[in-house]
Amino acid sequence: MATKKGRRRPAGSKSTSRASSAGGADATRTSSPIDEMLLAALERGDDSFETGRFLVTFKEGAAEEGLQSLGAQGMRVADARDFEGQAADLEAVGDADAVVFPEIGVAVVGGASAQERSMSASAEIAADSPVESIDPEHFVFVAGTPGEYLRSFAQEAEANPNEYLRGFLRAAETIIKDLREAGQPQLQVEEEAVALGATWGLNACRVPQSTRSGAGIKVAVLDTGMDLGHPDFTGRLPVGQTRSFVGQPVQDLHSHGTHCIGTACGPRAPAGSTPRYGIGFRSSIFVGKVLTNSGSSVDGSVLGGMNWALANRCEVISMSLSGRQSPVPAYTAAGQRALNNGLLMIAAAGNEALPAGAPANSPTIMSVASLDSNLRPSSFSNFGKIEIAGPGRDVFSSVPRPTRYGFKSGTSMACPHVAGCAALWAEASPILRGIALWNRLRATARPLPFPASRVGAGLVQAP
């Protein structure tokens, strides 16, 4: 967890009272725990996926002016730069009314604080304001879930909206159980993987043929954390490169994050007969826990992880998570700031067989679709704004001990294939950064006989 070093109090800032919700407790504080906000949403009977807080996106180059403007409105403002490595966990900001992430030019504002100042998504923004957009914050979930399963939840939600969010809270555990019980088809894939010495996904991406290792490239994986004691990653997870943004230890009790990191950065030669499942085996791993152990989160925590990854100049930032809203200006701004700094954000398109979700649907973030082992689009994979595709069905990778290895399916699994290959390309040339890396990944992708709305430029390939 981040170590708080202090709090910036802009000149003119002052204490303000915070409005309470109808129930007397304000679950929309800047520091509110994610589970508290989810329960409050359930009590409201709200199926909007909104948390009650707001995201303020500043105009490019206006983050400092924006920070000052929040202070001038009487807000207590926390600055991510006052936290070690800019790793600002929202739950650790105390009584702050707002938290500013300077690297990406975004602030998270508590619901009551925003209400006191008539700050809302419909508020008129003056032409000379440093603010570009004010938007509601939403909940976010892991994007490693089979689409058929989520669609059943959507159908259930239409009949009973109050159960919708509650269902997502249970989703992660149920999905893991489903995958463990999947049976023979997974065993067949495992046998094939062992015979070939590498997973089908790595073979499809031509990773074993590549001479690159990702050496010298920082890869940030923003997810549910990592099993910090996994033997395949001994010595590769320095304390300074692991941070939590959700009020929980980085240790992964879900397994989604450990699986994604395994694909993007796992070892070239795991012990025994275990097939190779990792791509950037010498890349520097940055573990940002932005999803809780139940697989849920909010935009603010994801944006905190993005800000941290930019502050550490991670050349590749992989995000296997998705919300179901329209493009979010704050994510678009973060993606643009990354490109401006020669970095690349990559995100899973989502698994509802619907248009790509956020943050992948932002024009500045590379959106990844899923393929099965026949190189056909996965039935669950979202579509529309898709830049590239990766192996996402029955993917073998690392999971927390004592199991160590397992299979998962989803665009979450396709995303780290692209991130790992991006690290290999970035190692190949110092000019392959940011938008140049984006273009190279697309230019070298293997064309597939499907619409670009399903697979983008095609299957990602290693250099």
The residue length of the chain stands at 463
Cβ atoms 99, 30 nearer than 8 A:
yes
Amino acid in the structure at residue 348: A
Q: Which of 138, 256, 259, 417 is catalytic?
A: 256
Can 230 be counted among the known catalytic residues? no
Can 412 be counted among the known catalytic residues? yes
How large is the angle between the packed helices 299-311 and 329-340, nearest 10 degrees? 10
Q: Which of 283, 297, 412, 417 is catalytic?
A: 412
Short-list 438, 420, 453, 434, CA closest to 206: 420
The CA–CA distances, whole Å, from 317 to 42, 83, 122 equal 32, 20, 32
How large is the angle between the packed helices 411-428 and 434-443, nearest 10 degrees? 110
Cβ atoms 349, 380 nearer than 8 A:
no
Q: Which of 223, 227, 232, 299 is catalytic?
A: 223
- Bridge pairing between strands 131-142 and 321-322: antiparallel
Q: Give the Cα separation of 33 and 362 in Å (integer).
A: 26
Q: Give the Cα separation of 169 and 166 in Å (integer).
A: 5
Q: 365 CB contacts (<8 Å, ≥6 apart)?
A: 319, 331, 332, 334, 335, 345, 346, 347, 359
31 by Cβ neighbours in 10 Å (0-12 / 13-18 / 19+) ranks as middle
Active-site positions? 223, 256, 412
